[in-house]
Structure 1
Amino acid sequence: MASLMKNVTFRQLRTFVEVARYLSFARAAETLHLTPPAVTMQIKELELAIDLPVFDRQGRKITLTTAGEYFLVHAKRMLAMLKDADNAMARFRRLETGLLTIGMVSTAKYFVPRLLARFRVEHPGVDVQMQVGNREQLVALLHNGEVDLAIMGRPPKELATRTEPFAAHPLVFIAPPDHPVMQIGHPPLAALEPYPFIVREQASGTRAALEQFYQEQRRDLRIGMEMPSNETIKQAVMAGMGLSFCRCTPWVWSCKAV
């Protein structure tokens, strides 16, 4: 039997991945700088080439079929391999052009843009894209080849990656300046147990570090609230809603390290 895949183009793969990302032909068209009919045509040609539907269409709502979910994994891998090959050929040509995609945890946004501004001055031909997410999301992006590098607190043990530490990013307990624990000086961990903690979501690296620390110290962690945003946690701590544990970033100065 002749292979159907030989008729699939990389343009169709990229279009398919973008439609799958947004589950929207219109948003994929904006990202790809195409018209919605052109995106629809690319998907139809892809489905003809592989002889399977990749999307279920119900009015304006679309979802991936089972075949589409499997094909998406392979499409991302193929695009990642093509990008690797393009980067390798660029190095042979000694060209400083292309796209650098960086994933980073939310606390890195306080210093990474300054580093990238210097990078752009030294490498003006390189376009840079940034994606912000929690640790779990960044690991998934690395696994799928959707980012070239990721900036996070702890390197992923589940992936074969090369890691390079380049900056200190300490973790601290924080409280409002007028909180009772601030009257103790350097309070022991036991002094924090009566108070609720405002913590990041389960997939966050900061949350994992906090829970691991409490387990190692054999102490009970009282979680009062979960929030997915460091800025929101800052405001909640300043309002006296609880203590927190976070990466030491400039906004911590509005509260106080315990």
Structure 2
Amino acid sequence: MHYTLHQLEIFLKVSRLKSVTKASEELYLTQPAVSIQLKKFQDQFDIPLFEVVGRKIYITEFGEEIAIAAEKILNEITAINYRALSFKGELSGKLKIAIVSTAKYVVPYFLTGFMNKHKGVELSMDVTNKAEVVKSLEQNLVDFAMVSVIPKQLKINNIKLMENKLYLVGGKQFKPTGKNISKAIFEKLPLIYREQGSATRNQMEHFIASQKISTYKKMELKSNEALKQAVIAGLGFSIMPLIGIKNELNNGDLQIIPMKGLPLKTNWNLIWLSSKNLSSIAKHFVDHINDNKSQIMESHFDWFNKLD
């Protein structure tokens, strides 16, 4: 048999995802390239590794055993690469981060320089909702999390990165007057909320309650992207983080609607458990953030600070 590590990687990914399309996306390969290597791998065995029924892939019992073996082999190869880098005095291993969905517009800029400098560091970043982020942190599944509201139930250390500013936002269908809208007009707007537990949702509800506003209609969407597209389409209005709507503001798909009491302001924070024994990689990442956050802000978020 003459299968390659590349073929092992492809088969393992297909066995996990049960889809050539999804495997090709995660491996940054074309579907034909994945299909060709998958066939070449299968041709080296007399026993089927998988079956295609309709348009679905089912991994056989033998295929499951091969997938387990492939994972062990690939893990060993990764470990060898890490050891080689360690002997050369370079950082090597994994950096694990969980972030709330809106933070994906922020955290890559704080990671790029660090990842480019340390080629032996592998990044695992889970983009999910606040509840799952806090759960991952609490169960020590990640090194760091990025949130706009620090969880009070955990003892954590944090680095304040930048402001998180939330504005009332509408689509281009709304006719602005150039003045702050009144409570009476706000009460007539169909509002779109994030899901329960979202920090954005909590801030929006707190603002409405503090202003003693009676809302007109409530819709709920579970991601910032879905909410953004709904506002663009004219389905409603929402109080949204500025960081995620830069392009839409620039091209006119969205507009900020001025209102007294806005923007709401919190802070993006990099957090980790106070009790956690940080790895060498994690310690270097903390140093990188402390040493470079001002320069990163000036280089990438100058536009953000100019709007108030």
TM-score normalised by L of structure 1: 0.61
Asked whether the 8 Å contact 2:98–2:125 carries over to 1, the reply is yes
2:90/2:118 contact within 8 Å kept: no
Query: What is the distance in 2 between the residues matched to 1:40 and 1:127?
Result: 21
Q: Does 1:208 align with 2:202?
A: yes
Instruction: Report the RMSD for the aligned CA atoms in angstroms.
Output: 2.9
After the TM superposition, which residues 86-125 of structure 1 pair with which residues of structure 2 at under 5 Å, given as runs? 96-125=91-120
Q: Which amino acid aligns with 1:257?
A: I
Counterparts of 1:15-94 in structure 2, within 5 Å, are 27=16, 36-37=64-65
Residues in 1 aligned to 2:127 and 2:216: alpha-carbon distance in whole angstroms: 28
Are positions 1:247 and 2:246 aligned together?
no
Q: Conserved in 1, the CA contact under 8 Å of 2:92 and 2:120?
A: yes
Q: Percent identity over the alignment?
A: 31
| In the alignment, structure 1 residue 144 sits paired with structure 2 residue 143 | no
What is the CA distance between 1:251 and its match in structure 2? 4.4
AA in 1 matched with 2:214 = D
Counterpart of 1:241, as a letter, is L
Post-superposition offset of 1:95: 5.7
Residue 96 of structure 1 contacts residue 125 of structure 1 at CA under 8 Å; is this kept in 2?
yes
Ranges of 4+ aligned residues in structure 1 off by more than 4 Å:
38-41
Indicate conservation of the 8 Å contact 1:211/1:221, yes or no. Answer: no
Q: Deviations over 1:138-160 (max 9, x none)?
A: 11111111111111111111111
Q: Deviations over 1:148-207 (max 9, x none)?
A: 111111111111111221112211110123315x22622134421111111111121100
Checking the alignment, whether the CA contact within 8 Å between 2:168 and 2:240 is kept in structure 1 is yes
Query: Aligned match of 1:133 in 128, 134, 138?
Result: 128
Q: Is the 8 A contact 1:224 1:242 kept in 2?
A: no
Q: 1:99 to 1:193 in 2, by over 3 A?
A: same
Structure 1 gaps of 5+ residues are: 1-25, 42-93
Aligned amino acid, residue 175 of structure 1: G
**1:223–1:136 Cα change, 3 Å:** farther
User: Letter of the aligned partner of 1:245 in structure 2?
Assistant: I
Q: TM-score, normalised by structure 2?
A: 0.52
Structure 2: how far apart are the matches of 1:227 and 1:176? 17
- Are the aligned partners of 1:103 and 1:132 in contact in 2 as well (CA < 8 Å)? yes
1:40-83, Cα deviation, whole Å (9 max, x unpaired) = 99xxxxxxxxxxxxxxxxxxxxxxxxxxxxxxxxxxxxxxxxxx
Query: CA 1:179 to 1:163, structure 2 compared with 1: closer, same or farther past 3 Å?
Result: same
How many Å apart are 1:124 and its aligned residue? 2.0
Unaligned runs of 5+ in 2: 1-14, 18-22, 24-62, 70-88, 258-308
Higher relative contact order (CA 8 A, sep 6+): 2
Q: 1:156 to 1:194 in 2, by over 3 A?
A: same
Residue 220, structure 1, aligned to residue 217, structure 2? no
Measure the CA separation in 1 of the matches of 2:248 and 2:181.
18
Match of 1:183 among 150, 173, 177: 177
- In 1: Cα distance, 2:184 partner to 2:129 partner: 29
Question: Residue 210 of structure 1: SS of its match in structure 2?
Answer: helix
Corresponding residue for residue 194 of structure 1: 188
Contact 2:191 2:237 in 1 (8 A): yes
| CA distance, structure 1, for counterparts of residue 16 and residue 94 of structure 2 | 21
Q: What is the one-letter code of the residue matched to 1:101?
A: K
1:164 corresponds, among 159, 164, 189, to 159
Question: Contact between 2:168 and 2:239, CA under 8 Å: does it hold in 1?
Answer: yes
